[in-house]
Amino acid sequence: MTGSTTLTNPTTPSQPAAAAGRPGDSASPAVSFSAVSKVFPARSGPGVTALQDVDLQVRRGEIFAVVGRSGAGKSTLVRLINGLERPTSGRVSVAGTDISTLTERQLRPIRRRIGMVFQQFNLMRSRTVVGNIAFPLRVAGVDKAARERRVAELLDFVGLREKAWQYPDQLSGGQKQRIGIARALATEPTLLLADESTSALDPETTSEVLALLRRVNRELGITIVVITHEMDVVRSTADRVAVLEAGRVAEVGQVQQVFARPTHHTSRRFVQADVRQQPDADRWGQLRRQHPAKQFGQLVSPDAGLLSRVLVAGAELGVPVEVVHGGVSTFKDGDFSSFTLGIEGPEPAVAQWFSRAHELAAQADGMLTRVSGPASGGDATAGASTGTDNTRTDNTGTGSTDHTDGKAEERR
C-alpha cells in the first residue's frame, strides 16, 4: 500500500502544548478510567446502563484494544475518552488531566490532541481529500502555508498523494479510511481513538488499514485505543486487550496471554471465534469417525515449541500422540498455536500423559483441555467472526470437557 515515507513532526504553530499533555507529565497513563459508570436516561424507568464500574489504564505508546459484542459499551467507552460522552460517575483522565469535570469549551483544546477514526469514515462529502485533512488544522488555527505543508506530509504518509483533489465519493472504502487516519493525525495527537475502524472494510483492506495503524504507533509513537468486535483485529494489532461484557470489564491483559488462557467465558468465546485452528462441529464428527479409538486434547499456547515437548512426553510414556488438527496464528509480536491432539493407548498411560502434558502447558503459559465424549451440534466457530455463542463440546448434554489445567471454571 504505502511507500516508506516517514512523517516528521514539525511543531505546529499555535498549538497549546498544555491541555492533553505532551511530555512533561509522562508519569501518568495515556488514559485512565476509575470507577466509571455511564447511564443513558430513558423516557421512563431507570435508564440504560452502558458502562458499570470500569477501571482501565491505557499505557503510553501501546496499542490497547477494547473488544466486545455490539451493545457491550465499547463505543460509549471510547467516546468518554474525548468527552463526546460524559461519565455518570467516576473519573476519566487523559494524560493526567481529569476531563470529566471540564466544560464543552474547555474540552475543545484537549480534543485537538486526540485523533479519532470512525467505522463509517465520517469524511465531509462536500470537501476534497485535501479539504478534509486540512479541516482539523483550520479548527486549530494553523495558517495556510503550514496547513498545506502538513496536508502534503500526511498524504505521503498514507500513500494517497494522487487522490489529493478527489472527493470522498470517488474513493474506495480503504482509501477513505486512510484519509480518515490522515485527518485524525493532522494536529499531531498523542492519542488516537479507532472506533471499529475496519468493520466496514473487506479483509484485504482491513489488513492494510491495520498495518497503517501499527505504523502510526511504531513510527510516530502515538498511543492507540482500538475498539473492535473482531478478535483478529485484536490479535494482529494490539499489545493489550480489555474484554467488555454488558458494560463491565470482564478481563484485561496482554493479548497473547488472553488468547492462551482466557479467564472469562466471554473472552473464551471471542478467542474461539478467531482461532480457527480449532475444529468445528463437522470437523469433530469427521475426527471421531477417522479415529474411533482415540481420545483428544486441545493444546493452546503462545509457545509453538510446546508441541514437540508434549509429543516427546507421549513417546516416553509409550502412548503415540499425533496432531490431528491445528495451526499457528500470528500476533503483533509473536505467535499463538492451537493443536488438537489424538492419543491412543491404555488408560493409565493416557491419564499420565494428560497430567504430564498439562504441566508442560502450564510452564509454557499455555493450556491443555481434555476433550472426551462425542461432540455434537451448536458450533459456529469455523466461520464466525462476530463472537456468536459458539462452544465446542457442550450444550447438548452428550459431550463433556475435562479441564486438566487445574482451572476450575465451567466451560460454557
Partner 1 sequence: MSWDELWPVFGTSVVQTLLMVAATLLAGGVLGLLLGVALTVTRPGGLLASRAVHTVLNVAVNIVRPIPFIILITAVGPLTLGLTGTTIGTVAAIVPLVLAATFGISRIVEQNLVTVEPGVIEAARSMGASPTRIIATVLLPEALGPLILGYTFVFVAVVDMTAVAGAVGVGGIGQFAISYGYQRFNWQVTWVAVAAIIVLVQIAQFAGNRLARTALRR
User: By the criterion CB under 8 A, which residues form the site for partner 1?
Assistant: 82, 84, 105, 107-112, 114, 116, 118, 120, 122-127, 135-136, 138-140, 167, 169, 183, 187, 193
- For partner 1, the closer of residues 142 and 319 by Cβ is 142
Nearest to 312 by CA among 360, 351, 344: 360
Shortest distance (Å) from residue 124 CB to partner 1:
6
135 vs 265, which CB is nearer to partner 1?
135
Nearer to partner 1, 164 or 382 (CB): 164
How far apart CA 241 and CA 238 sit, in angstroms, is 7
Least separation in angstroms between residue 194's CB and partner 1 is 12
Nearer to partner 1, 78 or 255 (CB): 78
Q: What is the DSSP string of 110-164?
A: HHTTEEEE-TT----TTS-HHHHHHHHHHHTT--HHHHHHHHHHHHHHTT-GGGT
Q: Minimum distance between the CB of residue 83 and partner 1, rounded to whole angstroms?
A: 9
Please identify which residue in the block is written with the cell numbers 496471554.
257
* 95, burial (CB in 10 Å: exposed 0-12, middle 13-18, buried 19+): buried
Question: Cβ(82)–Cβ(116) under 8 Å?
Answer: yes
CB of 100 to partner 1, least distance (A): 17
Q: Cell 472426551 sits at which residue?
A: 372
Separation between Cα atoms, residue 64 and residue 237, nearest integer Å: 9
Element holding 351 (H helix, E strand)? helix 347-363
Q: Which is nearer to partner 1, 72 or 193 (CB)?
A: 193
**Cβ proximity to partner 1, 103 vs 308, nearer residue:** 103
- Shortest Å distance, C-beta 374 to partner 1: 49
Q: Which residues, at least 6 apart from 230, have a Cβ–Cβ distance to it below 8 Å?
A: 67, 198, 199, 274, 385, 386
Q: How far is the C-alpha of 81 from the C-alpha of 92, rounded, in Å?
A: 7
Nearer to partner 1, 120 or 372 (CB): 120
- State the amino acid at position 59 in one-letter form: R
Handedness of CA 119, 122, 123, 126 (dihedral sign): positive
Minimum gap (Å) between residue 14 Cβ and partner 1: 13
Residue 111's CB is within 10 A of a number of other CB atoms, namely 22
Q: Tell me the three cell numbers of residue 210.
A: 491495520
Give min distance, CB of 76 to partner 1, in A: 13
Least Å distance, CB 180 to partner 1, is 8
Nearer to partner 1 among residue 11 and residue 126 (C-beta)? 126
